[in-house]
Amino acid sequence: MKKLFLACAIIAMTLAFNVSLSYAATNKVTEKPNIKINIDGEIGQYKDVPIVVNGRTMLPLVELLVNLGVQKDSEHIIWNSKERSITINKDTQKIVLKVDNKSATVNDKAVSLDVAPVIYKSKTYIPAGFVAQALGKKVVWDGTSSMVLIRDIEEFNNIKELLGKINTAMNSNERSKDLYVQTLDFNSEGSVGTTELKVQSEADFKNKKIYSKMDSSISYEETGETESSVTELVMSNNAVYVKQKSETEWKKYDESEEAFNKLFVYDDITPDSDVLCAGLYYTEENNVLTVAGLVNAGEYLKEAVENQGLDKYSLTDVALVIYVEKDTYRIKEIVATGTGTATLSDNSILEFIIVAKNTFSEYDGNFEVQLPQDLE
């Protein structure tokens, strides 16, 4: 449970009372033990709890700086008790901060902070985003997984360029087939089971036609019962058609030309996502690029969770792996995973593990998308 605390700036014993009164009057401190800090692909562990002050994430001084690569000695991290200041030296960068003061300097140039460093529970906390940026890092907040991502700007831009090539390649295909499989293992107050969604699709992007067959099921461990359904979906002629296996007629949903055209644009993996650019890394083996990171794939897992009818949820322990053909930059397979909790309509809590896998094949293959004969 999140707890709200009023901060008490603890310095010299003679000043403690006055400082705590003035600080508590203007700032709210909230402990955020669930916030994760991802620095260059590593999620750091902090002995002292992260806090949020006026909407900004604050981290313990020494722990953050060491994780950012600052040497832990009196030459690189300097505390001046008289001035209540912190001087940070790393490579060519020199940063000077003062407790309870929004004025700072970076390489002797004055800058203003959104929130001042504070002393909380006898520990000095500094604004993570400002310090990381001053040290040449890109800082990104991922609200879906409560994660701060910190990345070298050059590496951030390299991944952005790679994702741009992937996105361009995926949007240049005329035809393709893919298999999407999504499983969600759940536990809600003793009710344990698994839902599965399997979607087989054929797409003709040039002529704007897609045919998909969706098999969905839910099984309950305690009873052994399984419920299943089959749905067909067609996108064609500025409309989306849907029919359940038990139905005899198609339901038609007309779309504007603009909205319909967007259905044929690949945007699951995009360079416009700062979260992906900050959190992904790649390796190469056997002409395949493996692009991976402890990040949420933008809307990818969001849509996967909400497909299960869950709208009040939080995700943790997310991960993403993308296998890419090096020569063409086309995606071979995407695997996204996450754990989380959701609040159901009766206010009960559901715990879940979700895995979403999308496998692509027959790019520009010699096939034609066949639409059902009973489609109007």
CA distance 226 to 209: 33
88-112 average pLDDT score: 95
Please give the pLDDT value at position 257.
Answer: 95
Question: Model pTM?
Answer: 0.83
For the stretch 190-210, pLDDT in tens is 899 999 999 999 999 999 999
pLDDT value of position 26: 52
- Cβ neighbors of 151 (< 8 A, separation 6 or more) are 39, 40, 137, 138, 140, 277, 278, 279
Domain limits, the chain:
4-135, 155-361
Report yes or no: 263 and 255 within 8 Å, Cβ to Cβ. yes
Per-residue pLDDT of 120-161, as tens digits, reads: 999 999 999 999 999 999 999 888 778 899 999 999 999 999
**324: which strand partners?**
289, 331
How many other CB atoms are found less than 10 A from the CB of residue 351?
A: 14
What number does CATH give the domain 4-135? 3.30.457.10
Confidence of residue 272 (pLDDT cuts 50, 70, 90): very high
Reply yes or no on whether the pLDDT at 280 is more than 70.
Answer: yes
Our separate counts of H helices and E strands in the chain read 7, 26
| Arithmetic mean of pLDDT, 354-358 | 94
Q: Which CATH number describes the domain made up of 155-361?
A: 2.50.20
State yes or no: pLDDT of 1 exceeds 50.
no
Q: Residue 70 forms beta bridges with which residues?
A: none
Alpha carbon of residue 136 to chain centroid? 22
Q: Percent of the chain, pLDDT > 70?
A: 91
- Cα–Cα distances (Å) from 118 to 60, 61, 245, in that order, read 10, 10, 62
Residue 8 has a pLDDT of: 31
226: number of Cβ within 10 Å: 12
Pick the closest to residue 342 from 308, 312, 322 (CA basis): 312
Question: Three-state SS string across 324-359, please?
Answer: EECCCCCEEEEEEEEEEEEECCCCCEEEEEEEEEEE
Give residue 368's pLDDT.
93
pLDDT in tens, 222-259: 899 999 999 999 999 999 999 999 898 999 999 999 99
Question: What are the pLDDT digits (tens) for 281-319?
Answer: 999 999 999 999 988 765 677 778 887 788 888 888 889
Asked whether residue 178 carries a pLDDT value surpassing 80, the answer given is: yes
